[in-house]
């Protein structure tokens, strides 16, 4: 049956976008139908031909072969009224979808899995099942953090704090896998628009395993989790937490000290067999200051100092805050800056010069400069730890404060941790995305790119395995578009 196109008021434009060839059908399970209503004839032709050129089968008629109906610009009500008029029968394998599913599939070069957010729901069905509306809302939550919008407004802190303590404790025990499961569970809860009201609210949520659900249940029933209380009082947990809070002391060192029976800083510092490295020495030396959170005001003051130093070296270079502060956090454990130089090659000289300037200003307390090991010929990398090959430095600097922080020492400054990274110009966008975080958001972006799109993403590049090409990006939006993802603003990446 041919759909009756509604009369359009617009004047007809020439129809042919590109001629229809004899393209090979690659995806036999999918037959598309694009609704002309609101989309218009010429755009429909254009999109149909685009899809065919990518190996999709597109039916011009709403036949019984059609599996995916795609609509643009129609309200759910008018679309479904029209579909009914066409005698469109519901079958379980037929999808009525928003144009976003189509565009994501085009950029992926293959049909992407249909998710709840792609559906245009029949409003009459919606009314019938409104009793289940809260569960329905929950089922739209993606398993990937990069498909969720997570602001700092966490409505489920009581649960996420508990789950994150469990995760941290497992990290301290070296159980990275189970730890990640709790981190993911916490992250899903952080993205919810409201607090969980009862245990059943967790049923439709992804990434919540039996353990996570049990913890939530206990908090619902008792107001807290006995397992979490136990961990907070556990000697190993407390000691690992204390030791690893020192700059330069990682989990391995913390564990080593714990196993040797050490429990306090005093014991570590008076143990003759322990040789602290330069970083750890600075960590202990400035512990009191750098274990305190850095405020946004302090971060802004530091930005001016960094900018001044950078511009001295290269008047055309720019400095941007990244990390947690770019995501809108009010406090951080350090301040992360990314430097953009206008020409390739300039990134290599800028950090040593900034360090020299801080020295001459007498504000440098510690510096660890890591020269660039970036080699474009080694891309794409297949290891996806957060580390990258760019020129960067980890610093502790003196930040002048209004009041003297310590009357006895008569200090008018506070020691603050600062990270600077200076990627080559053409790598800037990928580096900015990577350094903005959060860590779990980045992890899921990479996982999504690899598993759902056959692409490799890291701080250096985005690589398409299907075509063996690097995908260019001038903005973060470009990277999301390459991945067929809706753009997520930095302040929505607090996964």
Residue numbers at the binding site for Mn ion (CB under 5 A): 323-324, 332, 334, 336
489: DSSP letter: -
> Is 336 marked as binding a ligand?
yes
x-or-dash pattern for ligand UTP, window 376-395, by CB under 6 A? ----------xxx-------
Among 332, 423, 424, 484, binds ligand UTP (CB under 6 A): 332
Q: Does 419 carry a binding-site annotation?
A: yes
The interface with ligand UTP within residues 264-323 (CB under 6 A) comprises: 323
- Phi and psi, residue 281, nearest 5°: -60, -45
Q: Binder to ligand UTP among 111, 423, 437, 490 (CB under 6 A)?
A: 437
Distance CA 109, CA 318 (A): 36
Q: How far apart are CA 70 and CA 98, in angstroms?
A: 6
- Cβ closer to Mn ion: 332 or 484? 332
If the CB atoms of residues 98 and 443 are measured against ligand UTP, the closer one turns out to be 443
Distance between CA atoms of residues 280 and 86, nearest Å:
72
How many CB atoms within 10 Å of residue 321?
19
Task: Answer with the entry of Mn ion, ligand UTP, none that 269 interacts with (C-beta below 5 to 8 A by kind).
Answer: none
Which residue among the candidates 348, 368, 419, 478 is catalytic per the annotation? 419
- Say whether 334 is catalytic: yes
Stretch that binds ligand UTP, among 137-145, 310-318, 438-446, 482-490 (CB under 6 A): 438-446
Q: Does 439 bind ligand UTP (CB under 6 A)?
A: yes
Q: What angle do CA 110, 113, 118 make, to 5 degrees?
A: 110
Q: How far is the CB of 439 from ligand UTP (least distance, A)?
A: 5
323 or 434, CB closer to Mn ion? Answer: 323
Q: Does residue 459 touch ligand UTP according to CB under 6 A?
A: yes
Binding partner selected for residue 434 from ligand UTP, Mn ion, none, CB under the kind-specific 5 to 8 Å limit? ligand UTP
The smaller minimum CB distance to ligand UTP, of residues 196 and 299, is found at 299
Shortest reach from residue 390's CB to ligand UTP, in Å: 8
Interaction partner, residue 160 (Mn ion, ligand UTP, none; CB < 5-8 Å by kind): none
Q: How far is CA 402 from the centre of its chain?
A: 36
**Nearest CB to Mn ion, comparing residues 56 and 394:** 394
388 labelled binding-site residue: no
Sheet bearing 335-340, strands edge to edge: 318-322, 335-340, 413-422, 391-400, 364-370
- CA angle 381/384/390 to nearest 5° reads 70
Cis peptide before 380 (omega within 30 of 0): yes
Residue 201 interacts with ligand UTP (CB under 6 A): yes or no: no
Q: Is 336 a catalytic residue?
A: yes
Per partner kind, with CB cut-offs from 5 to 8 A, the member of ligand UTP, Mn ion, none near residue 435 is: ligand UTP
Measured CA to CA, the distance from residue 440 to residue 429 in angstroms comes to: 19
CB-nearer residue toward ligand UTP: 24 or 385: 385
Fill in the DSSP letter of residue 86: T
Interstrand relation of 335-340 and 413-422 (parallel, antiparallel or unpaired)? parallel
Determine contact, residues 456/462, Cβ cutoff 8 Å. Answer: yes
Cβ distance to Mn ion smaller for residue 329 or 340: 329
Say if residues 486 and 100 touch (Cβ distance below 8 Å).
Answer: yes
CA dist 53 and 18 (Å) reads 10
Q: Which helix (H) or strand (E) holds 47?
A: helix 41-53
From the candidates 201, 336, 444, 464, give the one annotated as an active-site residue: 336
**Where does 77-141 show beta strands of DSSP type E?**
95-98
- Which residue in this structure is represented by tokens 């971060």? 299
- Kindly state the smallest distance separating residue 349's Cβ from ligand UTP, in Å: 20
Total residues interacting with ligand UTP, rule: CB under 6 A: 17
Residues 324, 424, 484, 490: which binds ligand UTP (CB under 6 A)?
324
Cβ proximity to ligand UTP, 36 vs 388, nearer residue: 388
- Residue 29: active-site member: no
Which residue among the candidates 122, 138, 201, 334 is catalytic per the annotation?
334
Residue 411 gets which letter from DSSP?
Answer: B
Give the Å distances, CA to CA, from 430 to 73, 91, 456, 466, 482: 33, 43, 12, 20, 12
Q: Give exposure, 22-46, as e/b (b: 16+ Cβ within 10 Å).
A: eeeeebeebbbbbbbbbbbebbbbb
Rounded-to-integer distance, Cα 328 and Cα 125, Å: 40
Q: Which does 386 bind (CB under 5 to 8 A by kind): Mn ion, ligand UTP, none?
A: ligand UTP
183 binds, among ligand UTP, Mn ion, none (CB under 5 to 8 A by kind): none
Choose among ligand UTP, Mn ion, none what residue 387 binds, the Cβ cut-off being 5 to 8 Å by kind. ligand UTP
Binding-site annotation: residue ranges for Mg(2+):
334, 336, 419
Catalytically annotated residues: 334, 336, 419
Q: Which residues bind ligand UTP (CB under 6 A)?
A: 323-324, 329, 332-334, 336, 386-388, 434-435, 437-439, 442, 459
Binding-site annotation: residue ranges:
334, 336, 419
């Amino acid at each position: 049956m041919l759909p009756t196109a509604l009369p359009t008021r617009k004047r007809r434009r020439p129809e042919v976008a590109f001629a229809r060839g004899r393209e090979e059908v690659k995806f036999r399970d999918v037959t598309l139908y694009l609704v002309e209503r609101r989309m218009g004839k010429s755009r429909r032709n254009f999109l149909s031909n685009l899809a065919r050129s990518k190996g999709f089968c597109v039916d011009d008629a709403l036949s019984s072969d059609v599996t995916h109906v795609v609509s643009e610009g129609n309200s759910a009500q008018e679309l479904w009224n029209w579909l009914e008029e066409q005698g469109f029968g519901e079958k379980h394998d037929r999808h009525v979808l928003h144009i976003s599913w189509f565009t994501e599939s085009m950029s992926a070069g293959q049909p992407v899995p249909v998710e709840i957010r792609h559906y245009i729901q029949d409003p009459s069905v919606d009314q019938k099942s409104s009793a289940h509306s809260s569960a329905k809302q929950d089922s739209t939550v993606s398993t990937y953090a990069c498909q969720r919008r997570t602001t700092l407004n966490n409505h489920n802190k009581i649960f996420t704090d508990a789950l994150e303590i469990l995760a941290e404790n497992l990290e301290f025990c070296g159980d990275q896998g189970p730890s990640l499961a709790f981190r993911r569970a916490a992250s899903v809860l952080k993205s919810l628009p409201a607090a969980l009201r009862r245990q059943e609210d967790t049923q439709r949520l992804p990434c919540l395993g039996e353990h996570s659900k049990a913890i939530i249940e206990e908090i619902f029933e008792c107001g807290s989790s006995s397992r979490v209380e136990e961990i907070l009082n556990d000697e190993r947990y407390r000691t690992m937490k204390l030791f690893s809070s020192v700059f330069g002391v990682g989990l391995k060192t913390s564990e080593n000290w714990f196993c040797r029976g050490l429990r306090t800083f005093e014991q570590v510092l008076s143990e003759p067999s322990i040789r602290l490295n330069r970083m750890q020495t600075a960590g202990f030396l400035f512990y009191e200051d750098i274990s305190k959170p850095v405020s946004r005001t302090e971060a802004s003051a530091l930005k001016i100092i960094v900018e001044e130093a950078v511009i001295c070296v290269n008047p055309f270079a720019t400095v941007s805050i990244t990390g947690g502060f770019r995501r809108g956090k009010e406090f951080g454990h350090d301040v992360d800056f990314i430097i953009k130089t206008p020409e390739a090659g300039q990134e290599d000289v800028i950090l040593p010069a900034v360090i020299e300037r801080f020295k001459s200003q007498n504000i440098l307390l510690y510096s660890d400069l890591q020269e660039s090991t970036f080699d474009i010929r080694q891309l794409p990398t297949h290891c996806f730890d957060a580390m990258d090959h760019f020129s960067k430095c980890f610093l502790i600097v003196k930040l002048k404060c209004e009041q003297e922080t310590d009357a006895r020492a008569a200090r008018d400054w506070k020691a603050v941790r600062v990270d600077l990274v200076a990627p080559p110009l053409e790598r800037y966008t990928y580096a900015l995305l990577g350094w903005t975080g959060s860590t779990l958001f980045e992890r899921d972006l990479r996982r999504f790119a690899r598993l759902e799109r056959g692409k490799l993403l890291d701080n250096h590049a985005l690589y398409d395995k299907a075509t063996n090409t690097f995908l260019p990006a001038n903005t973060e939006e470009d990277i999301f578009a390459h991945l067929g993802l809706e753009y997520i603003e930095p302040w929505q990446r607090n996964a």
